[in-house]
Amino acid sequence: MPFDLLKSDATSIAQAVRDGSVSAETVVSETIKRMAATEPKVGAFLQQDAEGALAQARAIDAARKQGKPVGRLAGVPIAIKDNIHVEGRPTTCASRILDGFIAPYDATVTTRLRAEGAVIVGKTNLDEFAMGSSCENSALKQTRNPWDVTRVPGGSSGGSAAAVAARSALVSLGTDTGGSIRLPGSFCGVVGMKPSYGRVSRYGAIAFASSLDQIGPLSVSVRDSALTLSIMAGRDDHDATSSKRAAPDYVAELAKANIKGLRVGYVPAYFDQCPDKEVAKTCKLGLERLRNLGATLVEVNLPNADHGIEVYYVVASAEASSNLSRFDGVRYGMRADKGNAIANYFATRGAGFGTEVKRRIMLGTYALSAGAYDEYYGRASKVRTLIVNDFVRAFGGCDLIVGPTVPFTAFKAGEKSDPLSMYLCDIYTIPASLAGLCALSLPAGFSKAGLPIGLHLQAPPYAETTLFAAAQALERDLGLDRLAPIA
């Protein structure tokens, strides 16, 4: 079987490597060539590791020739968002404050992917400390959208989404706190999946907001997403928030999935009040296609979801202010030498953190202060509970909820210069994060300008099997060609 990187997904490549149809070295060599062709235009990677990737690939080929098992992701080129540890490689979080820091160990997800033969080709760009919706907040470089390099890839996992869209990786890992996998998935026309809170270990990922953060895959296809999650999911003693609930084999479940009779909920306002009518129309068509495939459409109400933005930016900022206090210039990363500890601390954080990170630290610190705690963090936590309860009631009458991922397509770099307009990018994705749901952005079509549009599928906690079943059925029905037109 001829090998074509641009027409393959991770599942088919791994199968070809396992049965000897193609060597892992060939796959990785072609990926490195693709990176060389696309990176000058896209800039998805902060670090590339061609030498290490080829060494991994050759080891896989040698093991296969010796009759040894080579894993479910054998030879698949994978990129890792640069807030997730890969031992011996820098972890920058796209921030100057971590200058010179080298990860001393692998994140649990990195370990699990390596064990199944995944080949790590590099680490991808992001908004600094995962705080942003466009990937423009990176202190280190600008990543462009492979569909139109004048536009942003979305954030914060913009580099990871752009790498998959450009096919300089077949799968990438991102983190999602309020939409940071799903939003760039929508903008870049790839599958972006946020697992349920606790489904995947966060050990080895730099914390932003600990009650919200989740690691998840960005991929070419739904089955690749299911395969990657099957490998990453499950209890990890290094992470007390990881669930003890056994993770199913999502790939096996997907093979026998049937969505006839599935109850699909929708909120009419998400379509009727969407500011981009092309997005609304495309997502409505996706909803109708699900009905044509045998699903039943059910109108649902999420009355408190409108408060998601306000709640999120209090809760997430408060947790960020606490988590980021560890970056003090004493133990690792950059250090400003001003002669005494207090001066060093202020100078290091002042020079090391970017504007958006400072904004959220200050907001979060104020929300946790003695005089403001009840008014801000305490009240936000109560409204968060109301949002959770809204979803519990809604899922009493449906199996998943579908709507647009983002209210618009990818915007021009520099177009959204004020924080509020940027924050509103996540208006549809944040409620699922606050409620700990699993959610997925599926490419559903294109605007007249040729920009991808994502459909947002949300399911109850630990109902990833349902999510994948609906997403794959719709993916097959749509039959979209999702190769970005770069190079």
Phi then psi dihedrals of residue 219, to 5 deg: -150, 170
CB under 8 Å to 152, separation ≥6 — which residues?
A: 134, 135, 136, 143, 144, 145, 158, 187, 410, 411, 412, 413
Containing 446, the helix (H) or strand (E) segment is: strand 438-446
Residue 138: both structure tokens together: 């990176």
Residue 110 pLDDT: 98
pLDDT at 2: 62
Task: Give me the pLDDT at residue 223, please.
Answer: 98
Active site residue 180: yes
Q: Judging by DSSP bridges, how do beta strands 119-124 and 45-48 pair with one another?
A: antiparallel
- Do 152 and 141 contact (CB within 8 A), yes or no? no
Residue 110 structure tokens: 């990195």
pLDDT for res 162:
98
Contacts of 42 (CB under 8 A, 6+ apart): 143, 144, 145, 146, 149, 162, 163, 166, 168, 486
Cα gap 379→309, rounded to integer Å = 14
* Whole-number Å distance between alpha carbons of 437 and 465: 13
Query: What is this structure's pTM?
Result: 0.97
> How far apart are alpha carbons 241 and 332 in whole angstroms?
26
How far is CA 6 from each of CA 27, 80, 395, rounded to the nearest angstrom? 11, 20, 38
For the segment(s) 5-259+428-478, the CATH number from 3.40.190.10, 3.60.15.10, 3.90.1300.10, 3.90.1150.10 is 3.90.1300.10
Identified catalytic residue from 12, 95, 156, 201: 156
Q: Which of 23, 160, 172, 180 is catalytic?
A: 180
Contacts for 323 with CB less than 8 Å, ≥ 6 apart: 207, 208, 209, 210
What 3-state DSSP class applies to 411?
coil
- Give pLDDT, residue 94: 98
List 81, 194, 284, 416, catalytic entry? 81
225 is catalytic: no
Q: Which residues of the chain have pLDDT under 50?
A: 1, 487
Active site residue 277: no
pLDDT in the model for residue 487: 45
Beta bridge partners of 145: 148
Provide DSSP, 117-180.
T-EEEEEE--SGGG--SSS---SS----BTTBTTB---SSSHHHHHHHHTTS-SEEEEEESSST
Helix, strand, coil percent content, the chain, rounded in steps of 5:
45, 15, 40
Instruction: Name residues whose C-beta falls within 8 Å of residue 263's C-beta, 6 or more positions apart in sequence.
Output: 295, 296, 298, 397, 398, 399, 400
Contact indicator for 487, 5 with CB cutoff of 8 Å: no
